[in-house]
Amino acid sequence: MELTKKRLFEMVTGYQTTALLRTGLEIGVFDALADGPTDAATVAGRLGIDRRACTTLLACLALQGLLIRDGSRFALGPGVRELLVSTEPSYAGGIHRVAAGAMEWQALGRLAEAVRHGGPLDGFDSTVPDFPYWHDFAATGTFATDRLAAMVADALAATTAERPGPRILDVGCGSAAVGIELAARHPGARLWAQDWPTVLAVAEERAKERGVHDRTTLLPGDAFGIPLGGPYDVIVAANLLFHFSPERAVLLLERLAGSLAPEGSLVIAGFAAGEAAPAEELRAQLLDLMMLCTTPGGQMHSTDAYTRMLTAVGLTEHEIHTRPGFPPKVMVATRPRGADLSGPHDQ
């Protein structure tokens, strides 16, 4: 793709559009216009903000197509009600807390320092206990969260159908979307959800919403240290292992493999590096930059790297599931019957 002055300018100023949308959502502009067209003074009064500043903000949002301006009056633009008014069932505006949250803005604002240093800066370690970002991530999710959960459930459909009451462990679960989807599809299943306590509060509410709360056990704490229990028929690690170096990822996989039942499935789900079309690969590589800024050693791993990790912990049987136009991948590794994967890592 050739670099032109136009594209260069768009790249340099792209953050301004993000800031504009984020501000509109945080202040509540779109909710304030949900009842119909009105002027800036009325919107400012509803929101309790400065009138002049409100007028400028609304004008900029209109120039982005998010609002329609007719003289002094403003109305919601096409598609805005469905996606950006918080009372709508299709509301998706919360994504700004994940894709453009304060943590990411601060980290990327110091990206040059992180690149020079070769790792995260002081105060940016997303792997510490109860890191605030993960509660927002669990509560909001991404546009791919539910789709990935369904993809994992589909990939395991044949194996879980053979077990009337599969025992499922969702590690670093976030909202536990994957584990809950599996439990919802199998009335006899039991789910163990592991993550930090503040994150598990979100997972617990999601389990109640899906009607699987009575079959869900919460495991608060560090996946590297707490007793994991088991054995499990399915262990899920979704969007998790790239937060760790290859060596540390293997340590976690070793623990998980030791908690698998014979012929149980260990699932690695999410983005992988170096294996997508350029437009899709960019997302993975940008995520790799975030790992550089916010984790001590985290990096995007390829499916070949995951294969080597799984083999290193004794899981030599694996398969990869993909879907057209959907970058995340699902790797399913099976514990061979009779394999001895126990060790001092098991608790």
pLDDT for the residue 284: 84
Written in H, E and C, the secondary structure of the chain is CCCCHHHHHHHHHHHHHHHHHHHHHHHCHHHHCCCCCEEHHHHHHHHCCCHHHHHHHHHHHHHCCCEEEECCEEEECCCHHHHHCCCCCCCCHHHHHHHCCHHHHHHHHCHHHHHHHCCCCCCCCCCCCCCHHHHHHHHHCCCCHHHHHHHHHHHCHHHHHCCCCCEEEEECCCCCHHHHHHHHHCCCCEEEEEECHHHHHHHHHHHHHCCCHHHEEEEECCCCCCCCCCCEEEEEEECCHHHCCHHHHHHHHHHHHHCEEEEEEEEEEECCCCCCCHHHHHHHHHHHHHHHHHCCCCCCCCHHHHHHHHHHCCCCEEEEEEECCEEEEEEEEECCCCCCCCCCCCC
Q: What averages of pLDDT result for each successive group of 10 residues across the chain (347 residues)?
A: 93 94 97 97 97 97 97 97 96 91 86 90 83 89 91 93 90 97 95 97 97 97 96 97 96 97 95 72 86 92 94 94 90 82 48
- Please, where in the chain does CATH 1.10.10.10 lie? 5-89
pLDDT for the residue 344: 41
- Please, where in the chain does CATH 3.40.50.150 lie? 132-334
Q: What's the pTM value of the predicted model, to 2 decimals?
A: 0.89
pLDDT for the residue 255: 97
CATH level 3 topology of 5-89: Arc Repressor Mutant, subunit A (1.10.10)
CATH level 3 topology of 132-334: Rossmann fold (3.40.50)
pLDDT for the residue 24: 97
pLDDT for the residue 347: 40
